[in-house]
Amino acid sequence: MRIIVGGIHGGYEWNTVVLISETLTYLQENPSLVPDDVTLYVIPCANPDGYAAGTDREHGRMNGNGVDLNRNWGYDWQPAVTHGARPVDAGAYAFSEPETAALRDLILARDVEAAIFYHSAMARVFYGAERDQSATYELAQIVSEATGYPIATGVPRQITTGDAIDWMSAQGLAGIEVELTTHDGIEWERNLQGLLAFLNWNPVPAKVRPDRFPRVPF
């Protein structure tokens, strides 16, 4: 099971919604591109309220509660976080927001093994923090080679605790973030190649703890 997610930062990263929407249409027209042994979940917009709020980073990036959804996941969550050097709201607690809780539940309930979260605009591929527990770095390499976006880790001077792919990597799951180059274009051809690499990727089993997929009460 695999998943691709756009628009977690709403209208501020509106081009990721366009990219994933066009990807969904393309796959519906070309279903043979999805291997028979792969189930792919496609979420064009994970933050509909932010998408409706506009393209500025103060309102369009946040959900309807004013929370930055990529600071709200349960990995080293803390309330004092930033976007760049600007403070943003991480929520009242990890997974306090309905959008992040729904994504978490989908990933765990459907046994999703790998994910791409699309962002803009840094032209990079980011991998999860727990690379020794998951195949996050291996997936980042595969997608980086296919798209030409270089691999990166972290953003200087930015406090990014509560990040989605860090949480995934701690669960033994391979999540990466693909950052488009600008806030406008979708760079269709290079991201199509990245998607095909993702769909056809056969991960090497990670050497992780026996409780690789812990099920905890929500």
Residue 178 has pLDDT above 80, yes or no: yes
Residue 205: per-residue pLDDT = 62
Return the pLDDT at 11.
97
Residues 208 and 66: their CA atoms lie apart, in Å, by 36
Structure confidence at residue 131 (pLDDT)? 94
CB neighbours of 128 closer than 8 A, spacing ≥ 6?
134, 136, 163, 165, 166, 167, 168, 169, 170, 174, 175, 176
May I ask the CATH class of domain 2-199? alpha beta
Mean pLDDT of the chain, nearest integer: 93
* Model pLDDT, residue 157: 73
pLDDT tens track for 90-99: 999 999 999 9
pLDDT tens digits, one per residue of 6-23 = 999 999 999 999 999 999
Q: How many CA atoms lie within 13 A of 46 on its CB side?
A: 31
Q: Give pLDDT, residue 165.
A: 97
pLDDT score recorded for residue 206: 52
Domain ranges in the chain?
Answer: 2-199
- The rounded Cα 140 to chain-centroid distance in angstroms is 12
First-residue to last-residue Cα distance in the chain: 22
Q: Is 18 helix (H, G, I), strand (E, B) or coil?
A: helix
Q: Which one, of 38, 98, 40, lies nearest residue 69 by Cα? A: 98
Mean pLDDT of 56-65: 96
Q: pTM of this prediction?
A: 0.92
Assess whether the previous peptide bond of 102 is cis (omega < 30° from 0).
Answer: no
